[in-house]
Amino acid sequence: MSTQTKMSEETKSSNAWVSVGGAFVFVVLAIAAYVYFNTKPPVHAGEVLSVNIHPIHRELGTGPANGAGDKGISGQGDTFDEVIVLVDARIKNQTDIPLFLHDMWAVVDLPDDEQERSLASSQTEFGNVFIAYPSLQPLKKNPLLRDLTLQPGQQVEGMMIFSYQISQAQWDSRSGLDITMTFQHQKPLLLHVAK
């Protein structure tokens, strides 16, 4: 075989590799361009800025000295436990159309696959919480209200209040808190708060 024939075959071989490499790069760029131009970001985004709790524990009794009277069936006084959860959150409209916030609720995950659900307080309930528990006043922020309209690109921050009929020990044993915000004609926004 002559040297010229050998060089011609090497040139053809290297040209084939260049063609395959070029085709591969072209396909990768075409896929990347398709994904870039056809992938839309979520319509909304959000984050939890802070979570504060206010546990309530009361011994209930029927006697004049609040507990000096009759006891419950088991011979023990009745108790009332509640945990008030104040969540400061921020949400943003990432679309070019208005978004309409419809409702908010939160689910606390307790041991043994138990869950407790609470709707966010209404505007009236929101104000009443700070009247009933003045010690919470320093934490008060503007409420995040139902039926709020977020204009394109708008970002809002506000507080939601949730109430659970559980003890502080149950709250402390939680594995997480999941907040759901629903929007008209859109998928809900889910925010997870780890323990």
Task: Quote the CA–CA distance of 26 and 8 in Å, as a whole number.
Answer: 27
6-63 pLDDT, tens digit per residue, is: 556 656 666 777 777 777 777 777 776 665 566 667 899 999 999 999 999 888 765 5
Residues of the domain holding 190 = 44-194
Mark whether 88 and 168 lie in a shared domain: yes
Residue 137's pLDDT is 95
Question: Are 178 and 161 members of one domain?
Answer: yes
* Residues 6+ away with beta carbon under 8 Å from 145: 101, 123, 158
Nearest CA to 158 out of 117, 120, 119 is that of 120
Residue-level pLDDT at 42: 84
CB atoms within 10 A of CB 150: 21
Give me the number of domains the chain comprises: 2
pLDDT digits (tens, 9 = 90+) for 115-148: 999 999 999 999 999 999 999 999 999 999 899 9
Tell me: do 84 and 145 sit in the same domain: yes
